[in-house]
Amino acid sequence: MQVYGKFHQGKSIGGMQLAKQIVGARGVGGLYVGLGASVVRQFLYTGTRMGGFQVLIDHFTVDGVPPSFLTKCGICVFSGAVGGIVGLPPDVALTRISIDDLEPSDKRRNYKNVFEAMFRIQKEEGPQALFRGLTPVVVRAVIVNASQMVSYYYFKELFLRLGTMSDNSACHIVCSMLAAGVTTVCVLPVDMAKTRMQNMRYVDGKPEYSGMMHVLSSVVKNEGFFGLWKGFMPLLIRNGPQFVVVFVVYEQCTQMYRKFAA
């Protein structure tokens, strides 16, 4: 949805309509194009940012007292940025694999899998191409980590303090869903910039976009201000279940980690 207008004279399309087009052209499996790249990306990106977050939170917890809100924000920024950098190469591959079908047949890259994609990208365009969109990716990772982790722990601590919920899976699920909504609103404009920069081509030796702000200003100019939130519902529908799975597993892993470390 974020790049559809680029290939269809600025036209927009709804999530369900696009999903039907994909299924009609490639079957249900078309909705899972790029799955391998997504798994590799999550392994590196999410593992680093969330694992690093917990390690640093434990480091700055003194006598059972968690770090301050500002310290948590700083931890989110640092671990999110590192995670974004570590997970960037498979992220570039994921973006290109996922939207390759929108390209004209003579311009499709036809990557076989994430590893071949990364190998060809560095071979054909140089190693720096694997880190294309670094600025929006790092900014996105910081925003995701800050909005996701801070909002999750804010809602969790609020419910526990008010006594409306106990520290159990039900509480974790509710807080995850609320954090998904906050994160989706915060991250989508930067996600738009990341997607378009990672897929951009060079015309006469010049890139389509000079940077993140160029992408954002172009979208606002050509597609309207709310074009920055194009793909909101699909991302929210994606983030909701993902955040629930991630945080429920995360809480269990944290408990096992503390038990093992103790």
What are the tens digits of pLDDT across the range 18-67?
Answer: 889 889 988 999 889 889 999 999 999 989 988 898 889 888 988 888 88
CA 108 to mean position of chain CA atoms: 24
Superfamily of domain 33-261: Mitochondrial carrier domain (1.50.40.10)
**Burial grade of 119 (CB within 10 A; 0-12, 13-18, 19 or more):** middle
CA 109-85-173 angle, 5° bins: 100
The tokens describing 114, both together, are: 């994430």
In which residue are the tokens 């790092």 written? 138
* E strand intervals along 102-239: 202-203, 206-207
Q: What is the pLDDT of residues 128-154, one digit of tens each?
A: 999 988 888 888 888 888 888 889 988
